[in-house]
Amino acid sequence: MLISAKEIASYLNGEVEGNLDVQVHAPSKIEDGEEGTISFLANPKYEHYAYTTNASILIVSNEFEPTDDISSTLIKVPDVYASIAKLLEKFSDSKSQKFQISSFAFVEKSAELHPEVSVDAYAVIKEHCEIGQRTIIYPHVFIDQSVKIGKDCIIYAGAKIYSNTIIGDNCIIHAGSVIGCDGFGYSKDDQGAYTKIKHVGNVIIENDVEIGANVTIDRATMGSTIIRRGAKIDNLVQIAHNVEIGEDTAMAAQSGIAGSTKVGDRVIVGGQAGIVGHRKIADEVQIQAQSGVISNVKEVGKRLYGYPAIDYHSYLKAYAIMKNLPDLKQQVKELQDQINELKKM
């Protein structure tokens, strides 16, 4: 796709400074920008690249004022990140999609697929599944019986979706993720042996959810594990049985939530953070990376850090003291030695 600065500015409601007719065919990072590509400057710490990049077009904020010569044509916009998201979607949409079922795919006769569905080679779709319009199923996807998938979804290669899972519209599930496997539930007898507890519930994923690569979402023991509308789950996240994730909540890579915990709306969970089971997390809570939440969080918008997680600012103060403990220990020892000498007098 070739598109001019004038066309891009019109699409983004931006203002061009430079050559209106210069054309680009692809986006690029500002530090690696080449002629014929479009890049962006959103973070001020990367401003020095604006004066060296070879990108033909550079998207910047309305407030940006260069302090040196810039060879790129500038497009000034109110929100750089929002503009980039919109532009990347346009470049992505330029790749046409043919809706067809590969002769190497296996689709049970009782499955109901909209005519505008794409199913690639070696995908398996079992009995009584329902798949909506414009949904794309990539190679080696396994969809078990009675799964319902809405319209405009993308299921990437190697994803596994267990029986009775319900997925809404406009969802993305990346490669290798497993949706609806059994939860980690066992009973222990008097001799210490474990007996598996059957999980007969399902997983419900609402509209506009994105699930990263190699994510595992366990089915409920009874009832449903629920991922609410607009949630964004990064790669390598574990969500246990009967968990509920609120609307527009975001979880970074390698975080995990134990069984039956309810996470509110617009919560942010940092990478490698963990939440123990049977807890409730209020709306808009922020959990910093590598933190461990072991109790309910009732305050809306609370910021947490550390293990066990405590108030963000309290943790920073405590950490500042902890870093000085070796010096403080030495000072205490010296004071104790002085006291002992005084006692001898």
Give yes or no: 241 in active site: yes
Count Cβ atoms below 10 Å from residue 128 Cβ, excluding itself: 14
Q: Which residues contact 237 (CB under 8 A, 6 or more apart)?
A: 212, 215, 216, 251, 252, 253, 254, 255, 256
Sign of the torsion angle spanned by Cα atoms 336, 338, 342, 345? positive
Burial of 173 (0-12, 13-18, 19+ CB in 10 A): buried
Residues 90, 83: Cα–Cα separation, whole Å: 11
* Structure tokens that stand for 190 in this block: 């008097």
DSSP one-letter string for 148-166: EE-SS-EE-TT-EE-TT-E
Which one is catalytic: 48, 114, 140, 241? 241
Structure tokens at 45: 């710490």
CB atoms within 10 A of CB 61: 16
Q: Are 228 and 244 spatial neighbours (Cβ–Cβ below 8 Å)?
A: yes
What b-and-e string marks burial along 184-193, b requiring 16 or more CB atoms within 10 Å of the CB?
Answer: ebeeeeeeee
C-alpha distances in Å from residue 22, one per residue of 35, 37, 54, 156: 10, 10, 13, 35
Q: How far is CA 235 from the centre of its chain?
A: 7
How many Å apart are CA 256 and CA 251, to the nearest integer? Answer: 9
d(C-alpha 275, C-alpha 245), whole Å: 12
What end-to-end distance do the CA atoms of the chain give, in Å? 90
Task: Please report where in the chains the tokens 């049985």 appear, as a residue.
Answer: 241
Residues annotated as catalytic (active site), given as ranges: 241
